[in-house]
Structure 1
């Protein structure tokens, strides 16, 4: 389970870096997709963490 949380954290950080890259190359579509990626990866992580806590 820790590997899954680590993967989600890495993907979230990569999305945050991608936001900066999208701004640097002036690509609004890439920036918006990266922002959506951050919300998705963080949302999945928090949801899994919540479900894990409820099971214990």
Structure 2
């Protein structure tokens, strides 16, 4: 049975929240909010992929 990697669950929830934030910022007509959320999605996704690569290299996945 596979173990849940909780760090990836956290990254997924944060990325989903940031994507929702983009929609909310657009609805509120906030360009700064939308840009901030887009940057957050890029940062969170990048951290997730970096963590996955590091775990693969260490044989943890």
TM-score (norm 1): 0.95
5+ long unaligned stretches in structure 1 = none
Q: Judging by fraction of residues, say which structure has more helix.
A: 1
Q: What is the CA–CA distance in structure 2 between the aligned matches of 1:27 and 1:48, rounded to whole Å?
A: 31
SS at match of 1:7: helix
5+ long unaligned stretches in structure 2 = none
Higher relative contact order (CA 8 A, sep 6+): 1
Please list every run of at least 4 consecutive aligned residues from structure 1 whose deviation after the TM superposition is greater than 3 angstroms.
none
Alignment of 1:12-51 (within 5 A): 12-51=15-54
Q: Which has the larger radius of gyration?
A: 2
Superposed CA RMSD: 1.0
Tell me the matched-pair count: 56
